Structure 1
Amino acid sequence: MSRPSRRLLLAGALAAASAAVTGCSSGSEGSSSDGSRRLRIGYFAFPSGDLIVKHKRLLEKALPDHKISWIKFDSGAGVNQAFIGNSLDIAALGSSPFARGVSGSSPIPYKVAWILDVAGENEALVARKGTGITDVAGLKGKKIATPFASTSHYSLLAALEKAGLKPADVQLVDLQPQPILAAWQRGDIDAAYVWLPTLDELRKTGTQVTSSKEIGAAGKPTLDLAVVSDELISRDPQAIDAWRKAEAEALRLLKSDPDGSVKAVSSELNISEADAKAQLAQGVFLTPQQVASADWLGTGSDSDPGRLLTYVTDTARFLADQRQIDTAPSAAVVRKAFYLEGLSDVLK
């Protein structure tokens, strides 16, 4: 598989940015046309604390002097492109596309500042019934769709490797979630690795072969992270503090107010509350204390990153071995893409 150059990514970013951020001024020092400070937040239509923050307007309440724009993306590849085009300040991003973004001679100018969730049964590989596929080894020669440069793509490659298959042993197709569903319904593909809510649609007429929960337990976990631009860190670190506190509150609400959380996700995804409840149950959501611990993002000390550093470094190394990126960055390089300052404050 060929990989797009940084120049092509930038070209795509500029096109995506102009469409996604229509109406948002690119004024100096992060100001919008009416003089208020701006925050452009990228999110996925995926059950997580992000949707609770958005639905309950937690960030708008915390930062009334900011003009906040929520911009929906289909996958991490689009988020990376938008950051290259300077069209985002904060965004959800999978650990695999983040590992790609901090690799190479011109890493994307952003840093991981929060963990939204750990991939569980909410990302999985499903084969169409009638194909005879019952395990990963049975995918040899089959046509498999997944969004390239995503956590699902990474997990698919990991599953193939574990089964003794190379990417060349299958037919990989780069499709976003909605086109995956359309291709599935037409019978154009044999299997797909994707996330909710498209995943649940595929399960209705398919057989789950493996999941990101299983692949993570085997040593290759994936996570949904949240990153902030270097420019935002420089000009408005207080906004990052407020945003982290809003995300921490959402994680608390997922546990303390499950019914309210289900209603928020149901409304944001335009699905039934029963479906929202089922989808939330498939994710792994940390507590704020876990996020800000040595087991995950870190303790808030610049010299003490958590195990996420190892996860991202290992992911980049795997992608390099799979020839998805040219070279894997060192742990020291990845460490520079962590923003831990003020992290412990969300626990106060």
Structure 2
Amino acid sequence: MRNALKRLAAGIAAASLSLAVSACGGSDASGGSAGSGGDGVPATLRIGYQLIPNGDLIVKDQKWLEQALPNTKIVWSKFDSGGDVNTAMIAGAIDIGLAGSSPVTKGLSAPLNIPYRVPWIFDVIGDNEALVVRNGVADLKGLAGKRVATPFSSTSHYSLLAALAEAGLSESQVKILDMEPPDIQAAWQRGDIDGAYVWTPVLAELQKSGKTLVTSRELAQRGKLTADLAVVRDEFADRYPAALKTWLQQEDRAVKLVRSDKNAAAAAVARQLNLTPDEAARQIDQLVLLDGTQQQSADYLGTPSAPGKLADNLHSAAEFLKTQQKIDAVPDLPAFQKGLATKDLANAFAAG
């Protein structure tokens, strides 16, 4: 698959090097966070985040985890895509990370089979991911022979391929380039690409001079839903359930802040994205944010006795990815149901 194994090996090596340089304390013999602060508290919690205007940036900005886990060193590492988060997970470089539903589907499938699970939905993707083209491209069919960039293995990549398929275009009819969001913005400014499927804040920059052909919200309405998901290493979740519970509660707190004090939430996101509060508020509104109670509904993660529809969505994404030869085989539905951390979620929001 276009030297995929070589790229994966190189990525793992890079992530391991980054861990050695920047992650305080490294990993213990079992691959978990270094040491224990006592009473089952991790000495270090390593989080992989992305510049997406959801509750995770509020938690980071407000230092709620640092306050709630005073005996744990919180290490925040920025990633540009879910594919990079998967690589870091394989390397044991982070404990919790943010990845889109497409890379999580790949992570739970062969050949990756990453030992992690999904305890939280950061957001259901809406208008914050879209396909933008230069003026002169009238519709999706006009992309034939054009150069379109997207981060491979991301939700944007999944959505781009779905949009092309709807238009009757095969992947081979479009020159699809694998680029991270910062590189997409630079390539757009140079005129090197004709379009891109990407997310905010880079999306907002492209929309200033380009035309939006389709958004992920529109594709979701046609059955191609995507979401930004949290993934936690199985080893960490099993060893430090109290820390995971605290993390989940802080994420829920952030969603509730968006609802109760939009100005404060927008100000926090604005600081993290270097935006004006008004622009941050606009970008937050492009997402669907769910609190802990909503996440336990049948439409999303569900409960330990009744896994939610997110598992069905991941299974459908796997079927699509298999047709694109992005995974070796489609796991059965129970494999994706097992990948939902419904017990961890229920424990975090149990009454009393």
Normalized against structure 2, the TM-score is what? 0.93
Question: 2: CA distance between counterparts of 1:344 and 1:100?
Answer: 25
- Closer, same or farther in 2 for the Cα pair 1:72/1:197, shift >3 Å? same
Instruction: Work out which of the residue numbers 317, 320, 325 in structure 2 matches 1:323.
Output: 325
Q: Is the 8 A contact 2:59 2:254 kept in 1?
A: yes
Amino acid at match of 2:118: V
In the alignment, the residues of structure 1 paired with residue 237 and residue 24 of structure 2 have an alpha-carbon distance, to the nearest angstrom, of 20
Query: In the alignment, does 2:30 pair up with 1:31?
Result: no
Please state how far the C-alpha of 1:108 moved relative to its aligned partner: 0.6
Match among 47, 57, 62 for residue 41 of structure 1: 47
Aligned partners of 1:76 and 1:182: how far apart in 2?
A: 20
Which residue among 329, 335, 343 is the counterpart of 1:341? 343
Q: Does 1:214 align with 2:233?
A: no
Contact kept, 8 Å, 2:127 with 2:215, in 1: the verdict is yes
| 8 A contact 1:13–1:84 mirrored in 2 | yes
Q: Which residue of 2 aligns with 1:185?
A: 189
CA-CA distance at 1:279 after TM superposition? 1.1
Give 5+ residue unaligned stretches, structure 2. none
Cα distance per residue 1:87-106 (max 9 Å; x no partner): 11001110000001111155
Compared CA separation, residues 154 and 106, structure 1 to 2 (3 A): closer
1:189 CA drift (Å)? 0.5
Asked if residue 159 in structure 1 is aligned to residue 137 in structure 2, the reply is no
Within-5 A mapping of 1:233-252: 233-252=237-256
Structure 1 unaligned segments of length 5 or more: list them: none
Counterpart of 2:90 in structure 1: which amino acid? I
CA distance in 2, matches of 1:342, 1:100: 22
Secondary structure of the equivalent of 1:30? coil
- Normalised to the residue count of structure 1, the TM-score between the two structures is 0.94
Equivalent residues in 2 for 1:108-257 (5 A)? Answer: 108-129=114-135, 132-257=136-261
Q: Which deviates more, 288-297 or 216-225? A: 288-297
SS across alignment from 2:342: coil
Match of 1:78 in 2: 84
**Pairing of 1:285-304 with structure 2 (within 5 A):** 285-299=289-303, 301=304, 303-304=305-306
Alignment CA distance shift 1:229-1:23 (3 Å) = closer
In the comparison of the two structures, how many residue pairs are matched?
343
Task: Report the aligned-residue RMSD.
Answer: 1.7
Percent of aligned positions that are identical: 46
After superposition, the C-alpha distances for 1:292-340 in whole angstroms (9 at most, x for unaligned) are: 11110112x1x31100000000001100012222211111222222211
Supply the distance in 2 between the matched residues of 1:337 and 1:37 (Cα, whole angstroms).
Answer: 26
